[in-house]
Amino acid sequence: MAMDAIPSETASPGRDRTALLRGGTRPSPRLLERKTRLIDLKAEGQPNLWLLGGALSIAIVMILSLVLLVLWNGLATFWPKPIAVVTLTDGSLVAGEPSRTATFRVGQEVLATLPPETQAEIAANGGYANRTLYRTGNFDLYGDDFRWVADFQTRAKEFPRDMVLFERQEWGVFVGRLASFVRDGRTVTVTDPWADEVRQAHRIARDRFLQIRTIQRVEIGEVNHYLESERLRLRKAALRYPEGSRELEAARARFVEREAFYQRRFEELSARAQALMREHEAETVTLVEIGGRERVQPLGTIVRFYPANDVNFLQKLGIYGSRWLEFLTDEPREANTEGGILPALFGTVALTLLLVVFVTPFGVITAIYLREYAKQGKLVSAVRVSVNNLAGVPSIVYGVFGVGFFAYTVGGSIDALFYPEKLPSPTFGTGGLLWAALTLALLTVPVVIVASEEALAAVPRSMREGSLACGASKWQTIRYIVLPRALPGIMTGVILAMARGAGEVAPLMLVGVVKLAPELPIDGFFPFIHLERSFMHLGFHIFDVGFQSRNSEAGKPMVYTTTLLLIFLILVMNLTAITIRNRLKRKFAGSQF
Amino acid sequence: MPDTMLASPAEEFPPTEYHVRVGGRGAAVEITHFNLWYGTKQALFDNTLSIQAGLVTALIGPSGCGKSTLLRSLNRMNDLIDGLRISGTIKVQGEDIYAPGADVIAIRKRMGMVFQKPNPFPMSIFENVAYPLRVDGVRDKAVLQETVERSLRGAALWDEVKDRLGDNALGLSGGQQQRLCIARAIAGSPEVLLMDEPCSALDPIATAKIEELIDELRGQFTIVIVTHNMQQAARVSDNTAFMYLGRLVEYGDTDTIFTKPKSPRTQDYITGRFG
């Protein structure tokens, strides 16, 4: 180590510092000594160091807390929780997953009904008492998913091993006991919810249910699609050819023939679906809630069930994994508060990628003109200021513009020109993925323009001169020398635009995001990519589930997991872009000398 | 710089006080009554000189005397500056490069240029040298390869880089980068090679190599070199032009300028009394 060779008596502090800067691995004894001494910031000429450092720390603490909150709640949501059975003072029973506790002020009228010793206890606490929120489920029986139980109402609390949590296709979860199920016309009483018999019956019933859904959605959907396109074909012919012409008659004949064919196919399929449906409805399961009321429903409508107080760690892990899998790969159910978010995930990724595809060329071309070709003067300065100000326009304004200009004006014209047979129902003349991406591109283009301009301006003059002196034209110089050099900076702009676009919700509500769109913008029907379709978006999903659903408490876990996923998605997309940028940067790194 | 020299330039400096006819194979570049303004500020005053083909001509003078401006006028690099105005003519092989409708790109292809700081492009060594051909639309691999090798040999760099032509040019040392720039400048087979203080950013050893190279290129190209270093001008050039405050003070063959200058200002400058 060269640094150790410097005798500490002769080394000045300045030399010590440079030794450190050069990459020394161990500070000299002198520097260590300096470190331990109290430093007078004022004497060092940095009286504001506390302010600057403090601001940074506060920012970091706030960001970290937010991330931790989302991370904890998002990850914990799907972990199976135990079911408590609470005996109330009036003798009735409440069963549910304890979800959180809070203190509350006991109302006067409630206080008056309580026994004197309880009243005294509450009074000692200054009028406050604790209460716990239980997720009781059974919305179809209770009319609510949650119930607050105050501590003073509780007489006993236990965790019986036979309490089962059922996740259902409809009506949310059911908390209760599994009494019996019907198999091949005979009723089987259940003692152990983990028994192979019931598991197997459930698996068969579930497969059957999914099969029915496939027939209804995919196969009948396909028939409907072709039938609809035949109908449009006829309509198109009717619009183009006069009444009584040979073409129109041919089209009619074709339609009649095809319609009959698809009608037969439809009847076949629905007969198959109905047969399965009868089996599905015959195999019922009897669920009993804690109060003794029964609920009978087809076994196939139970998505998942487990005795919440009788699961070991591995089983919990399995349930956790299967819930995440469902979350990531399935469609939403129960007004989006349960099930998966695949359409939203897909919509967000597709929208962001499309946004990048639109915003990058648009922004870069504008920046090239502004920086390289436009005569620098008052007009260009005004344009530049306007572009910067565009970044400050409220995003909802872009949404209004998007729906007015893109959807109604441009889309309406496209419909009139190319899809007259579908009118009055719009094709492009309403919100959709394409218009949403264009609106977001407009919203984020100032970021790209400003960043690209900076990047272009930072390309050394000597590079351009070198190229021009070789006899390259201005365009060749920009294309071969300036743009590659500016690419990392341009990428930075695109990354910023992407991050902003992926997190934007307000304008999307106007230009194509919907609450539920199980049809993905990509499917097996020509032309395979359907940019005119409305779509789902994670950001809007958070808003919808958290604030627009019938029960915001039920949607809360979903809000956290969706937020977690959205943040993770943006992180992944940004990391990808940053990796590409750094690779480019390394290519152009290396000193000039 | 003594103030008296600025007193009344027009009086003190009649156009080209001592203009010696220089020998050679005839004029490659003919500069006639050339004036240049940056906006309202005049930078060059009535310059007239003829640069001889196949020889090395050095432009010397104190900072800000206009020698770089004159050099950059020869391939119209000054066009990039807003508010530029000129009068007079510059003819390359008899063709007026400032004539209306002159093809700037064609002109620049005839004049290779090497800059003060080495400015290789952020691409491979091969692509750097091939660049002038690429912009011409040359796609033929064999032609490219042959030209790159010839140019790198011409710039005395071939032996050092022949095994790593695909490496990034920015990884070369400063002196190698400058020789790469010379290779790039001669790859387009120009008639004239313009060098704008090509050694000012280099160490003495790299400088010596570049000077050796200039000596080797003598005869193949007409070379115009701007330099601050008078020893360098004396070492490498055949003819020397001394400029001061935008005017050409004295032009003649290098030996005469450095041993028996006719103008007292030239005398003062080369003996180091000012500058």
**pLDDT tens-digit map of A84-106:** 999 998 888 999 999 889 998 88
Residue A167 lies in a domain: no
Higher-scoring residue by pLDDT: A169, B11: A169
Q: How far is A453 from chain B (nearest CA, A)?
A: 19
Cβ contacts from A onto B, under 8 A? 86
> Could you tell me if A435 and A512 lie in one domain?
yes
Residue A260 lies in a domain: yes
**Amino acid letter for position A283:** E
> Could you tell me if A121 and A183 lie in one domain?
no
Q: pLDDT band at B181, cuts 50/70/90?
A: very high
Q: pLDDT band at B147, cuts 50/70/90?
A: very high
Q: Cβ(A546)–Cβ(A555) under 8 Å?
A: yes
- Looking at the predicted structure, is the pLDDT value of residue A32 above 70? no
Residue A25 lies in a domain: no
**Partners of residue A464 in chain B, C-beta under 8 Å:** 80
Interval A158-170 mean pLDDT = 90
Task: Write phi, then psi, for B144 (nearest 5 degrees).
Answer: -60, -50
Residue A244 touches partner B, C-beta closer than 8 Å: no
CB within 8 Å of A217: residues ≥ 6 apart: A518
- Looking at the predicted structure, is the pLDDT value of residue A571 above 80? yes
Residues A146, A551: Cα–Cα separation, whole Å: 9
Whether cis (ω within 30° of 0) applies to the bond prior to A527 is: yes
Residues B65, B13: Cα–Cα separation, whole Å: 13
Sign of the torsion angle spanned by Cα atoms A134, A140, A144, A150: negative
Residue of B69, B170, B172, B199 to mutate when probing chain A, most A C-beta within 10 A: B170
Identify the H or E element spanning A266: helix A246-282
**Partners of residue A466 in chain B, C-beta under 8 Å:** 115, 119-121, 181, 184
CA within 13 Å, CB half, A441: 20
Q: Do A588 and B122 touch (CB under 8 A)?
A: yes
Q: Which residues pair with B29 in a beta bridge?
A: B51, B92
- Looking at the predicted structure, is the pLDDT value of residue A1 above 60? no
CB within 8 Å of A262: residues ≥ 6 apart: A223, A226, A227, A230
Helix, strand or coil, per DSSP, at residue B102: coil
**Partners of residue A585 in chain B, C-beta under 8 Å:** none
Q: Do B170 and A589 touch (CB under 8 A)?
A: yes
Residue B131 touches partner A, C-beta closer than 8 Å: yes
pLDDT tens for each residue of A204-253: 999 999 999 888 888 888 888 888 888 888 888 888 888 888 888 888 88
Residue A4 lies in a domain: no
**Amino acid letter for position A502:** A
Which of A466, A589, A593 is facing B121, going by the closest CB pair?
A466
> Could you tell me if A297 and A255 lie in one domain?
yes
**pLDDT of the residue at B79:** 84
For the stretch A471-476, contacts whose Cβ atoms lie closer than 8 Å and that sit 24 or more positions apart, written own/partner, are: A471/B105, A471/B106, A471/B108, A471/B109, A471/B132, A471/B135, A471/B136, A471/B188, A472/B105, A472/B131, A472/B132, A472/B135, A473/B105, A473/B135, A474/A372, A476/B135
**pLDDT of the residue at A534:** 84
Q: Do B185 and A592 touch (CB under 8 A)?
A: no
Residues A174, A241: Cα–Cα separation, whole Å: 60
Whether cis (ω within 30° of 0) applies to the bond prior to A116 is: no
CB within 8 Å of B44: residues ≥ 6 apart: B34, B35, B36, B66, B69, B70, B73, B246
Chain A residue with minimum CA distance to B185 = A470
> Could you tell me if A438 and A549 lie in one domain?
yes
Order across the sheet with A146-150: list the strands: A146-150, A128-135, A93-105, A84-88, A154-158
Rounded CA Rg of chain A: 33
**pLDDT of the residue at A110:** 84
Match 């070199």 to its residue by tokens: B225
Instruction: Give which of A168, A206, A134, A210 is closest to A295, Cα–Cα.
Output: A168
Domain count, chain A: 3
Which of A464, A472, A587 is facing B122, going by the closest CB pair?
A587
Structural domain boundaries, residue A135: 84-159
Q: How many CB atoms lie within 10 A of CB A392?
A: 7
**pLDDT of the residue at A589:** 56
Contact residues, B window 36-75, toward A, CB-based 8 Å cutoff: 75
**Partners of residue A462 in chain B, C-beta under 8 Å:** 115, 117, 119
> Could you tell me if A142 and A220 lie in one domain?
no
Interval B182-199 mean pLDDT = 90
pLDDT tens for each residue of A441-481: 999 999 999 999 999 999 888 889 999 998 898 999 999 88
> Could you tell me if A121 and A191 lie in one domain?
no
Interval A322-351 mean pLDDT = 86
Residue A27 touches partner B, C-beta closer than 8 Å: no
> Could you tell me if A393 and A495 lie in one domain?
yes
- Looking at the predicted structure, is the pLDDT value of residue A2 above 70? no
Residue A15 lies in a domain: no
pLDDT tens for each residue of B218-246: 888 899 999 988 888 999 999 999 998 88
Which of A471, A480, A484 is facing B109, going by the closest CB pair?
A471
Q: Do B188 and A481 touch (CB under 8 A)?
A: no
Q: Where are the domains of chain B?
A: 3-270
Q: How many CB atoms lie within 10 A of CB A6?
A: 17
Residue A539 lies in a domain: yes
CATH architecture type of domain B3-270: 3-Layer(aba) Sandwich (3.40)
Q: How many CB atoms lie within 10 A of CB A538?
A: 24
Residue B205 touches partner A, C-beta closer than 8 Å: no
> Could you tell me if A363 and A286 lie in one domain?
no
Q: Do A463 and B121 touch (CB under 8 A)?
A: yes
Residue A8 lies in a domain: no
**CA end-to-end span of chain B, whole Å?**
7
Residues B138, A48: Cα–Cα separation, whole Å: 61
**pLDDT of the residue at A4:** 43
- Looking at the predicted structure, is the pLDDT value of residue A194 above 80? yes
Match 């087809």 to its residue by tokens: A298
Percentage above 70 pLDDT, chain A: 92
Q: How far is A466 from chain B (nearest CA, A)?
A: 7
**pLDDT of the residue at A66:** 93
**pLDDT of the residue at A223:** 87
Which of A376, A471, A481 is facing B188, going by the closest CB pair?
A471
Percentage above 90 pLDDT, chain B: 23
Instruction: Give me B246's structure tokens.
Output: 């935008």
Residue A78 lies in a domain: no
pLDDT tens for each residue of A121-157: 888 888 888 999 999 988 888 888 889 998 888 888 9
> Could you tell me if A347 and A213 lie in one domain?
no
A483-503 vs A433-457: helix crossing angle, rounded to 10: 140
> Could you tell me if A489 and A575 lie in one domain?
yes
Across all residues in chain A, what is the average pLDDT? 84
Q: Cβ(A147)–Cβ(A118) under 8 Å?
A: no
Q: Which of A159, A194, A220 is the last residue of a domain?
A: A159
pLDDT tens for each residue of A387-415: 888 888 899 999 999 999 998 899 888 88
Q: How many residues does chain A have?
A: 593
Q: Do B77 and A472 touch (CB under 8 A)?
A: no
**pLDDT of the residue at B9:** 40
Q: pLDDT band at A431, cuts 50/70/90?
A: confident
Q: What are the angstrom distances between the C-alpha of B140 and each of A457, B129, B136?
A: 34, 15, 12
Match 């390359």 to its residue by tokens: B92
Residue A585 touches partner B, C-beta closer than 8 Å: no
Q: Which letter does DSSP use for residue A176 in this model?
A: E
Q: Cβ(B28)–Cβ(B192) under 8 Å?
A: yes
Chain A residue with minimum CA distance to B131 = A470
CA angle B182, B106, B81 (to 5 degrees): 80
> Could you tell me if A399 and A522 lie in one domain?
yes
pLDDT tens for each residue of A255-305: 888 889 989 999 999 999 999 999 888 888 999 998 889 999 998 889 899
Residues A390, A28: Cα–Cα separation, whole Å: 54
**Amino acid letter for position B103:** D
Match 């000193």 to its residue by tokens: A591
Residue B200 touches partner A, C-beta closer than 8 Å: no
Q: Do A471 and B121 touch (CB under 8 A)?
A: no
Strands B192-196 and B84-92, sheet pairing: unpaired
**pLDDT of the residue at A360:** 94
Which of B112, B119, B174 is facing A463, going by the closest CB pair?
B119
> Could you tell me if A359 and A264 lie in one domain?
no
Residue of B74, B131, B173, B191 to mutate when probing chain A, most A C-beta within 10 A: B131
Residue B132 touches partner A, C-beta closer than 8 Å: yes
